[in-house]
Amino acid sequence: MRKAIFPGSFDPITLGHEDIIKRGIPLFDEIVIAIGVNAEKKYMFSLEERKRFIEETFKDEPKVSVITYEGLTIDLAKKEKANFILRGLRNPADFEFEKAIAHTNRKLSKIETVFLLTAASTSFISSSIVRDVLRHGGEYEMLVPDAVRVRSKT
């Protein structure tokens, strides 16, 4: 069974995240979207809201599940019996950052990281950009899945 963990904070999930997950579905038997919890980070959306946004976005996709976790992603992967970590790459800076993490994870646990390039139409979107647009009352709707559009925080 090819099982992948797709980790992130998803504050909030964006169309870029959704694109990577949708394109990962044919590659894996199961994708576990894992919302990481970092007590030192201040989030715009609560953990429950972030989880609900993702569950609603993928409610019709039986190969996708959503969990929350604390700690190392490789420990979660072992616990979930996942063979892969799925990550999206938007630009060269993402690649350099993710490459270092992937090498470290493989050294510590032998897990493989699978990278998918974001679609050109979503490569500029990041959660931090969405949060900034939301904070300033801008039109964020074209950057996020429908589930996020039902409620905005300012």
Q: Which of 23, 90, 106, 131 is an active site residue?
A: 90
Residues in the chain: 154
> For residue 110, which amino acid is it?
K
Single-letter code of the amino acid located at 115: F
136 an active-site residue? no
The answer to whether 42 is a known catalytic residue is no
| 17 included as an active-site residue | yes
Give me the catalytic one of 51, 87, 127, 152: 127
127 is catalytic: yes
Tokens 């590659």 found at? 27
**Edge-to-edge strand order for the sheet containing 30-36?**
64-69, 30-36, 3-8, 84-89, 112-117
Q: Which of 77, 74, 89 is nearest to 24 (CA)?
A: 89
Active site (catalytic) residues: 17, 41, 90, 127
